[in-house]
Structure 1
Amino acid sequence: MEFRRVVVTGLGALTPIGNTVPEYWNSLINGVSGAALIKSFDTEKFKTKFACEVKNFDADAFLGRKDARKLDPFVQYALFSTEEAVKDAGLNFDLLDTSRIGVIWGSGIGGLKTFLDEVVNFAKGDGTPRFNPFFIPKMIADIAPGHISIKYGLRGPNFSTVSACASSNNSLIDSFNYIRLGKANMFISGGSEAIINEAGIGGFNAMHALSTRNDDPATASRPFDLDRDGFVAGEGAGTIILEELEHAKARGAKIYAEMIGGGMSADAYHMTAPHPDGLGAALVMKAALEDAGISASDIDYVNVHGTSTPIGDPQEIKAIQDVFGDDIYRINISSTKSMTGHLLGAAGAVEAIAAILALKNDIVPPTINHFTDDPAFDPKINFTFNKAQKRVVNIAQSNGFGFGGHNASVIFKKYEE
């Protein structure tokens, strides 16, 4: 069977370091940290008092006060980044067959703020179940793609992928497969997350996953640094328009890149810890390469999962060493989580955008906040520490790993006729 080719024709981003794709990219290549003390709630009694929050986002101005109150922040973020992507792609849905345009959207948790508010309000009452009628439809993780489809009248496949921090990589892979198999012409794909609240920060603190570097939040996310002490929570959304090549050409679309492969695997090891030898991570990268019909020697840049946790970073590098062999010294590696923090279910999409723009601009964004070499890592590996590097990037790979042992990796290349 001959697969149809799939290209990227639109991008949208709402991140802790920029509320549009150009702002996000400019911050990435200039090494801007999005971490600061949390403003959305009182952190006095919390172990971690900082995060990478979205800044200057006004849901009321974007949606109107009435509609904004009906939507959890993770849906608000999804709609915002998607509007940018739709405009960027030059889409006029009145001229397209919307029965063949779908939405697949990732979120690791969904409407956590809505759940928290409703349960707290109930606990404060007299036991009478006075819940907001929008409680359930605001909270459920699949509601973001539902709202996107409603807004634009898209009647193709519509669902949510939930695989923790691999969620939006999975949404991209599912969209890619539906298009190349001829089941749809286009997908709005990506992910969103909004967990910077008492439950999100408190919950991750309880499992000792977050950095507690409260005296220096801006440098707290330190992937591959000797003194890394946990990830920094982030929030936001990323949208990628994936489209069948001939469909895109017929409507005169600009093309950012071509998606050529995606892989999935499981660690089958532990509910939160990665396999210590990186077996699942190696398996997923190999699966993505095989799917793309290329070898590791064809990859120029890997946007790693790189969360800045003591146990997570080494296993990913072990996996890359296994997959790439001596080619590891030729490629660039970087973790953009050093700037954005960890956007959980939105991380895959936001980081895929970074990989796509690295292809387009031949610039690899850096891994910032590197101060002390970790002797566990080969010093000859190019982690792109602290400063963006110009180089030809023809093919880029982006990894996402999630609690539960979920792994998903995607590959993009420069578009050629």
Structure 2
Amino acid sequence: MTGPVAVTGIGLVTPAGEGAATTWDAVCGGVSTAAPDPVLAGLPVDFSCRVPLSDDDLGRRVGRASWRMARYAGLAVLAAREAVRDAGLDPRTWNGDRVAVVIGCGLGADAARDEQGGRLERLGPEMVSPLTIPLIIPNMGAGEVAIALGARGPSLAPNTACASGATAIAVARDLVRSGQCDVAVAGGAESALTRLVSTGFWRMGALSQRTGAVAEASRPFDVDRDGFVGAEGAGVLVLERTRDAAARGARPRAFLAGCGSTTDACHPVAPAPGAPGAEAALRAALADAGLAPHEVDHVNAHGTSTPLNDAGEAAMIARVLPHRPSVTAAKGVLGHSAGAAGAIEAALTVLTLQHGTVPPIANLRAVDPAFDIDCVAKQARRQDVRVAVSHSFGFGGHNVVLVLTRNP
């Protein structure tokens, strides 16, 4: 099969709250969710964007099986359930042998790793949980979603760092196209706001250090940007062949028309100068969709608020899309949720296509004068968006671009 696949459902759990509608309202409002984080108290960077669900609340929302899940897996289950409901599908009646699950994760359950490592050192081997390994391995988001939904088709857990969620969606698209499954539940989940991870990113110089103005810290493409704000969350899309969705009377939210993936092969954590790999991924995704660059109406940028990433991405957008499509970046509101970010942003791109509205970039007061791109700032912009691209980039040089369209 060639051609686009239908996006028939989306699910989101983000620092704005639970549910796609809640997150959409928040990003359109353009107000950051960053706040002081008690877990990070005393560290050089002591703020983050956390999902406003305590572990107990999350457990109650997930249900009886939550006792064995790391937090990121619980977030994945909540987002997947919403996406499947949104698609009008019922796991009690579908053929689970024909349902795939692809949930990316960049860091895994670092909180569980830290907790059990501490128990080992303080209390001895007998006090380490027998659940330690299933708690910490990064494929259990996919595993728990498959169990929760009775999905017995292919189950995969791509790890391409901060591009993991987008990679998962691209892989799922290929599974649907190839006929290996009829339905794919795909996205990303992450919850790694630990003291060690935060300190590691701080030592790299990747985090914003605006401790006195945390709500203004994440400011993609702003001339005064100084780093990202750590976050957690989950985003999930349901993908189906367009003809199958039509046959059951489903009304797709949008269509996944093209995917492109490349690797910089340049540096472990820094983007390649000039972003040639990102450009190649964008061009490959457009070619896969059978579209020309001038047909792109909107860019949902990776937009981390770091000096190097934003500079490379802005230059690449201006080079490949000189007609200046609108650009947004959700990390100004939601922070950077690592392996979940690409999936969350793909879902938001679907909503932009559906609602004809481009959310503003939070805290963007003055676009870096070196950037020749049309950033949406201050308030949401009404726009007739037919073709949009969503960029995701990750440590290790991973570049993934998704092309989403309003019509097949």
TM-score (norm 1): 0.94
Contact 1:103 1:188 in 2 (8 A): yes
**1:165 aligned counterpart, secondary structure:** helix
Specify the alignment match of 1:321 in structure 2. 318
Taking the TM superposition and a 5 Å limit, the aligned residue runs for 1:196-207 are 196-207=193-204
Match 1:43 to one of 10, 20, 41: 41
Kindly provide the amino acid, as one letter, of the partner of residue 300 in structure 2. N
Equivalent positions of 1:57-76 (< 5 A) are 57=54, 58-64=57-63, 67-76=65-74
Q: Measure, in 2, the Cα distance between the counterparts of 1:60 and 1:146.
A: 17
Matches within 5 A, 1:203-214: 203-214=200-211
Distance 1:60 1:182 in 2: 35
**2:90 equivalent in structure 1:** 92
Aligned with 1:85: secondary structure? helix
Instruction: Answer yes or no: is the 8 Å Cα contact 1:4–1:181 preserved in 2.
Output: no
Q: Give, in angstroms, the shift of residue 371 of structure 1.
A: 2.3
Name the structure 2 match of 1:360. Answer: 354
Q: Distance in 1 between matches of 2:259 and 2:62?
A: 34
Where does residue 32 of structure 1 map in the other structure? 31
C-alpha separation between the residues in 1 aligned to 2:148 and 2:328? 36
Check whether the contact 2:3–2:289 (CA below 8 A) recurs between aligned residues. no
CA distance in 1, matches of 2:187, 2:97: 19
The AA in structure 1 aligned to 2:17 is: G
Q: Which amino acid aligns with 2:396?
A: G
| Alignment partners' CA distance in 2, 1:72 and 1:96 | 27
CA contact (8 A) 1:226 1:374 kept: yes
| Counterpart for residue 406 of structure 1 | 398
Structure-to-structure mapping, 1:294-313, within 5 angstroms: 294-313=291-310
Name the residue aligned to 1:111: 109
The DSSP-based 3-state class of the residue aligned with 1:95 is coil
Letter in 2 for 1:376: A
Supply the AA of the counterpart residue of 1:95: T
For 2:230, which of 226, 229, 233 is the aligned residue? 233
Deviation at 1:152, TM superposition (A): 1.6
Shift of 1:42: 4.7
Q: What is the number of equivalent residue pairs in this alignment?
A: 406
74 and 403 in structure 1: CA distance in 2 versus 1, 3 angstrom threshold: same
Pairing 1:142-161 to 2, within 5 Å after superposition: 142-161=139-158
Contact 2:105 2:188 in 1 (8 A): yes
The alignment status of 1:184 with 2:181, answered yes or no, reads: yes
What's 1:3 paired with? 2
Q: By how many angstroms is 1:267 displaced?
A: 0.9
Q: What whole-Å deviation, never above 9, does each CA across 1:115-166 have from its counterpart, x for those lacking one?
A: 11111111223x5464211000111111111111111211111010000000
Distance 1:263 1:123 in 2: 45
Q: Distance in 1 between matches of 2:40 and 2:9?
A: 38
Give the match's secondary structure for 1:410.
strand
Matched, 1:132 2:124: no
Measured against aligned partners, the alpha-carbon deviations of 1:163-195 in whole angstroms (never above 9, x if no partner) come to 000001000000111111222111000010001
What's the offset of the Cα at 1:268? 1.0
> Partners in 1 of 2:68 and 2:95 — Cα distance?
29
Q: Deviations over 1:205-242 (max 9, x none)?
A: 12121111011111100111111111000101001001
Query: CA RMSD of the aligned region, Å?
Result: 1.4
The reply to whether residue 21 of structure 1 matches residue 20 of structure 2 is yes
Distance in 2 of aligned mates of 1:56 and 1:115? 21
Q: Which amino acid aligns with 2:101?
A: V
Q: Look up the equivalent residue of 1:372 and give its one-letter code.
A: A
* Structure 2 unmatched ranges of 5 or more: none
User: 2:4, 2:47 → 1: CA distance?
Assistant: 43
Distance in 2, Cα, partners of 1:18 & 1:134: 28
- Partner residue of 2:51? 54
Shift of 1:358: 0.4
1:174 matched to 2:171? The reply is: yes
Q: Which of residues 234, 252, 271 is equivalent to 1:274? A: 271
**The 10-residue stretch of structure 1 (95-104 or 259-268) with the greater mean CA deviation from structure 2:** 95-104
Q: Secondary structure at the match of 2:68?
A: coil
Who is 2:217 aligned against?
220
Question: How far apart, in 1, do the equivalents of 2:273 and 2:4 lie?
Answer: 36
**Partner letter of residue 215 of structure 1?**
G
| Equivalent residues in 2 for 1:361-380, closer than 5 Å | 361-378=355-372
Q: Distance in 2 between matches of 1:76 and 1:94?
A: 20
| Alpha-carbon distance in 2 for matches of 1:18, 1:132 | 30
Cα distance between partner residues in 2 of 1:373 and 1:391:
20
Contact kept in structure 2, 1:4 and 1:182, CA below 8 Å: no
Question: Does the 8 Å contact 1:179/1:186 carry over to 2?
Answer: yes
Q: What are the residue-to-residue correspondences of 1:247-262 with 2, within 5 Å?
A: 247-262=244-259
Distance 2:374 2:315 in 1: 14
The alpha-carbon deviation at position 61 of structure 1 amounts to: 1.7
Report if aligned partners of 1:108, 1:193 keep a CA contact under 8 Å in 2.
yes
CA distance in 1, matches of 2:246, 2:95: 15
**1-structure distance, mates of 2:357, 2:246:** 26
1:384 is matched with which residue?
A: 376
Alpha-carbon offset, residue 354 of structure 1: 0.9
CA–CA separation in structure 1 for the residues paired with 2:126 and 2:401 = 43
2:375 is paired with a residue whose SS is coil
